[in-house]
Amino acid sequence: MAKRKQLSDRQTAVLEDLFDSELDEQGVLEKHRVRRSTYNKWLTEKPFAEQFSRYVTRARRRSELLLAKYCSLAAAKLVELTTSKKGETARKACLDIINQPKIATEAERSEKDGNKEAAQLSGATASKILAVLAEEKSTGGG
């Protein structure tokens, strides 16, 4: 069995800065004095590419976690906006709520059940919300 090639300290430092610093790709390469051609070569080498892929996966998971943490807060703020005194703000908030995609757990359940259609508000519910908005606009409320 061939010995697995390890990343150099320089390669590891470049990966860490690419994913954990505020520098962009070019800034990281300049900081570590790595030529673009060298970096491109590293990307074709299996050990570097695999580690790069693990960093990408970790970054995606962090993003998903952040979104999951703040999703309910964002939804609550959107619901609050439906009662705004500014009619246009309330109208847009209602439309945003109507057009929201289903939440992931519902999506996973639907896929398991074989139902892959997006969850939508019923036509009756959407009509009621729009009727309230139209009434509010015609009476000058908001």
pLDDT in tens, 23-71: 999 999 999 999 999 999 999 999 999 999 999 999 999 999 988 888 8
The two three-digit tokens of residue 109, written as one number: 């359940």
- Does the predicted model carry a pTM greater than 0.75? no
Provide the pLDDT for residue 109. 60
Closest CA to 83 of 24, 133, 15, 135: 133
Closest CA to 84 of 71, 101, 97: 97
